[in-house]
Amino acid sequence: MSQRLHDLPEPPPANELGYAAYSGWACCWCGKSLLGMRGTVSAGISRGRQGAHVLDMEVYCCPDCAAARRR
Ligand SMILES: [Zn+2]
């Protein structure tokens, strides 16, 4: 279960994320694999658009990045 933090900056846009981060398998900030990791948090919505197709997707980050970026 992930906890939602509202004090994190917006995640990178969808077109800058790799497939793993966009799919929620990797940290959207450092790219570390989140599979089996405890304490992952929602990083918010990564915004993106490809033509008429909206790519907005909730992405996740590792606890280290969440702690480093929490304001
Ligand atoms: Zn990270």
Distance from Cα 49 to the centre of ligand 1, integer Å: 24
Q: In what order do the strands lie in the sheet with 41-46?
A: 3-4, 41-46, 57-61
In this prediction, residue 7 carries a pLDDT of 78
The domain locations on the chain are 3-69
Exposure string of 48-69, with b = 16+ CB inside 10 Å and e = fewer, is beeeeeeeebebbbbeebbeee
What are the pLDDT tens digits along the chain (71 aa)?
455 556 789 999 999 999 999 999 999 999 999 999 999 999 999 999 999 999 999 999 999 999 999 87
Q: Calculate how far, in angstroms, residue 56's C-alpha sits from the geometric centre of ligand 1.
A: 20
Kindly give the distance from the C-alpha atom of residue 25 to the centroid of ligand 1, in angstroms, as a whole number.
11
Distance 17 CA to ligand 1 centre (A): 13
Query: Where is 21: in which H helix or E strand?
Result: helix 19-22
